[in-house]
Chain A
Amino acid sequence: MERGDVRLSTGTAAPVRDGDPSVAVPERASRRSGRWARLLPVLGMLPFFLYVAVFLVLPIVVLSVEAFRATDPDTFEETWSTGSIAAITEGAYRRAYLGSLRLSVICAVLGAVIGLALAVAVLRTRRGRLLRRLVLTASGVLANFGGIPLAFAFIATIGTQGVITALLTDTLGLGLGGFSLYSMAGLTVVYLYFLIPLMVLTITPALEALRPQWREAADNLGASGWQYWRYVGGPVLAPPVIGATMLLFASSFAAYATAKALVGSSVPLVTLQIADALSSNVTVGSENLGKALALGMVLLIGLVMIFYAWVQRRTQRWLA
């Protein structure tokens, strides 16, 4: 609309220029306001891009560069070095990466499957408007319930002094069957508490977009339930489901607060290793190690995102 205005004003004003000069004044004014009108929005966007550049891009760039710096333990001289990068690919750090990846993959897959099942179960319930609203509202609330309070809620429930632990061991004499909250399995149980609602929230719109007509058309053509999901429902749902799974993966990969409050550093996880490296004042250069570990996390997430974009392109093409 704005561009149309500009063209209109210059178009009508051009022939006037040689004539009465007093008519040309609004023309010049409107041209100036036209230039301003085009420039102002760009200026208005500057704060956003500047902010993102300074507080999001700059820290990551600095991190990526300084991960290749090393401090000499004796002279405190800084040099370029790949020492930190090499160090994080072996030993305890390698185990931490593998532990984080394993935990995140398990959590993402379990969260996606259970969340999908819950979303389908809720949407399929007839006359279930109240139930649907309840589950969606609860999901919105619980998906944001991560971090410290969640960890303490689980400690109070199935921790060593937990209410359910006491109930199972003292009253029923069963015990937790070797399950410990302060382990990989325990973390999985805790993470799923916010991952399942996150899955329900992200996947419900996609499930609602599955039109009943498609199902009816498939039924009329004699398709079985399996065939419907294999050739219609599945392909349509695949991109959003994969996308949501990636989101769950990223959330559990990045989770630090819950793990810190629950297991301290007894479970090998990258986030815990980074915090340890940064808080250690004893070893010179551990700061660089923390940067290298963080850079590794960024790169892994980047790889996952590239894989995700590739899968999305594949499925888009398949759908078209």
Chain B
Amino acid sequence: MTSLTGVAGAGGVAPETPVRPGRRGPGAWRFAVLAVLGLYFIVPIGASVWFTVRDRRNGGVTFGTYAQIPGAEGFADAFTRSLLLAVLTVVLSLLLMVPTVVLVELRLPRLRTAVELLTLMPLVLPPIALVVGVRSVLAWAPDYFLNTPLADAFFALQEPALPWILVLVYVVLALPFVYRALDAGVRGSDLKTLTEAARNLGASWPRVLVSVVLPVLRTSVLNAAFLTLALVLGEFTVAAILGFETFPTWIVRISGSAPKLSVAVSVLSLLITWALLLLISALDRRRGAKENS
């Protein structure tokens, strides 16, 4: 800014100093915005923690509610089921999307728009509408296919102990996040040049995949995996509508009889999700630092 005034002064006319209103000012509105929003975002978390640790009878602080969590009825089942569903979803969506993203980038760039649009659809499509559709399809088993292998397959998908149908739907819900994470990794790494170099040096396609593509995509694969884990651990709509008990539906079920416990579990699940997502941003930063150096 200072150099500009010198240039403008060449005409001999005193230049109007281009001071932007608000830019040089004290910027009070900025601090007001930051302070108010800071409070808005911190208070609910602080209050929930206080809600669970305050001891109403004796005063002071107690962690009794948190100690109850592991032994709470149904907690272990619901939580391990959610964790298992999350891991299966991660594996399946990576198996599905890593080859797709790599193929689109290297061999079929013409399909990019189509894949992009399809993967973005679950972002705007209400999950509840999707799950109503899934329920309608599942209802075909008793209605039309009874006593056929297809019906048996449908029923197997809905095993309450490990409902595979949830995994299949969660992969769809995770598509936008997985695709974008992988796509960013592919674009940022100039995969095309790397694979061409490897091919010119005589590497076979499988070897290129294992020794070039996967190492390049490692960070974005981890990124996609953590986002999917967080998504599945918190997913409520699909599980509730299809009538399976997962971690979030369990929290709602116990909230009536044990409000304090449900808040404590919420705080805990919040911390787990945050740890996962903070890990992503730490990975991102490390990658950014590596690229800058």
Q: Which residues of A contact B (CB under 8 A)?
A: 1-2, 41-42, 44-45, 47-49, 51-52, 55-56, 58-63, 66, 114, 117-118, 121-122, 124-125, 131, 137-138, 140-142, 144-150, 152-158, 161-164, 193, 196, 215-216, 219-220, 222, 225, 246-247, 250, 253-254, 256-257, 260-261, 271, 274-275, 278, 287, 290-291, 294-295, 297-298, 301, 304-305
Contact = CB atoms under 8 A, between A and B. Distances in A.
Given A114-B37, A144-B231, A152 B266 contact: yes
Contacts of A156: 44, 47-48, 51-52, 263
Chain B CB count within 10 A is highest, among A146, A156, A261, A271, for A156
Nearest to B143: A78
Nearest to A148: B248
B277 interface: yes
A291 B21 CA distance: 54
B278 A141 contact: yes
A144 B230 contact: yes
Contact of A157 (B23, B43, B125): B43
A296 to B, nearest CB: 9
Interface centre among A42, A157, A215, A253 (most CB of B within 10 A): A157
Interface residues of B, number: 88
B214 interface: no
A54 to B, nearest CB: 8
A124 B123 contact: no
B235 interface: yes
Given A121-B34, A256-B127, A193 B44 contact: yes
Given A62-B137, A117-B33, A294 B132 contact: yes
Contacts of B44: 153-154, 156-157, 193
Q: What is the interface of chain B mostly: helix, strand, loop, or mixed?
A: helix
A118 B108 contact: no
17 contacts: A45-B104, A47-B96, A49-B118, A58-B137, A59-B134, A60-B125, A117-B33, A137-B281, A140-B280, A149-B251, A150-B266, A152-B48, A157-B47, A196-B37, A256-B126, A257-B248, A294-B133
Contact of A153 (B30, B48, B259): B48
Contacts of B121: 56
Given A246-B124, A294-B133, 19 more contacts: A44-B99, A45-B103, A59-B136, A141-B273, A147-B234, A148-B251, A149-B270, A149-B273, A153-B270, A156-B44, A163-B50, A163-B51, A216-B4, A222-B16, A250-B124, A256-B127, A256-B128, A275-B240, A304-B124
Interface in B15-40: 16, 18, 20-23, 27, 29-30, 33-34, 37, 40
B171 to A, nearest CB: 7
Contact of B135 (A150, A164, A257, A278): A278
Interface of B: 1, 4, 8, 16, 18, 20-23, 27, 29-30, 33-34, 37, 40-41, 43-45, 47-48, 50-52, 54, 96-97, 99-100, 103-104, 106-108, 111, 115, 118, 121-137, 139, 168-169, 171-172, 175, 196, 227, 230-231, 234-237, 240-241, 248, 251-252, 255, 259, 262-263, 266-267, 269-270, 273-274, 277-278, 280-281
**Which of A55, A58, A250, A278: most chain B Cβ within 10 A?**
A55
